[in-house]
Amino acid sequence: MSRVMDKLLACRFRHPDAAVRLFCFPWAGGGSGYYNNWGKLMPGTVEVYSLRLPGRETRLKEPCHKTMEALTNDISTTILPKLKDKPFAFFGHRCKNGYLTSVGEFICYFYSMGAFTAFEVARYLQKWYGLQPQHLFVSGVSAPQSPLRYQKNRQPVFEMSEEAFLDYIRQIGGTPEEILQNKGMMKLFLPPLRADLELLDAYNYQIPDSGPELSCPVTCFDGTEDRDHDLDAWAQLTSHSAFQKTKLPGGHFYLLDKNNQQTLLKHILQTLENI
């Protein structure tokens, strides 16, 4: 891979003879760590790439993107060479709380970064290059045009002071207080988290009068015990008739359960094998 592409794409388990590539989009404030192991769990027919965005991991010193448009442009143009010679698919998960993983990656799962970014990159590729994923997988989130994705009566993140932002993270819950009190850790992980949340606060999408911009199949996953999500609204974003939704036992982070992860990956694999 080129140097620029190598910064963005992480692929721990190479499968050069794979029939299809699966690109996994991180959640708000997140990195490539969780999805990297998917390559080990998939057969050689699928090569898994996890995106590593500016402002985190090995790109810590790079400025985070301020708008969805800039983020989408960067991702799309960088991964383009990987999209021309083989079929590809996208996976994105929404997150709504926060904690620190054992590998030192801060996960915020309050916003729909992964799913929305995957959708926006698919739109961009279709508009400018006539390319689409063979399948768009989204998880744990209402469609971007659905009123259910908006929080009412909440101060925008960009207006929050540092203290107010930390209080906001506390209110969301799930982040141990000892982590919030660790100034060194927060100095490292809060900037990309805040940048992503500001970006998503400003993100808005409406289906154009001409109709859906995608024509690829869409599959939605969700946890049975998670809050209500408008999954059906994702069907409005594609002209393809093959829309599916699957719920697995558990809350928002149902996919961290090993049995659920196995079921999820089996479903994705079966879908990709039919491409």
Write down the residue that tokens 């799913």 correspond to: 115
Residue 267 annotated as catalytic: no
The total of other beta-carbon atoms located within 10 Å of residue 178's CB is 9
d(CA 114, CA 90): 10
Neighbouring residues of 164: CB distance < 8 A, sequence distance ≥ 6 = 155
Residue 65 annotated as catalytic: no
Q: What are the C-alpha distances in Å from 140 to residues 22, 35, 115, 149, 248?
A: 18, 16, 8, 11, 11
d(CA 234, CA 239): 11
Q: Which residues pair with 99 in a beta bridge?
A: 107
User: Are 66 and 57 a contacting pair, CB within 8 Å?
Assistant: no
How many alpha carbons fall within 13 Å on the CB side of residue 40? 7
User: Are 49 and 37 a contacting pair, CB within 8 Å?
Assistant: no
d(CA 111, CA 76): 21
From 32, 76, 112, 142, the catalytic residue? 112
User: Are 98 and 190 a contacting pair, CB within 8 Å?
Assistant: no
**Catalytic center residues:** 112, 252
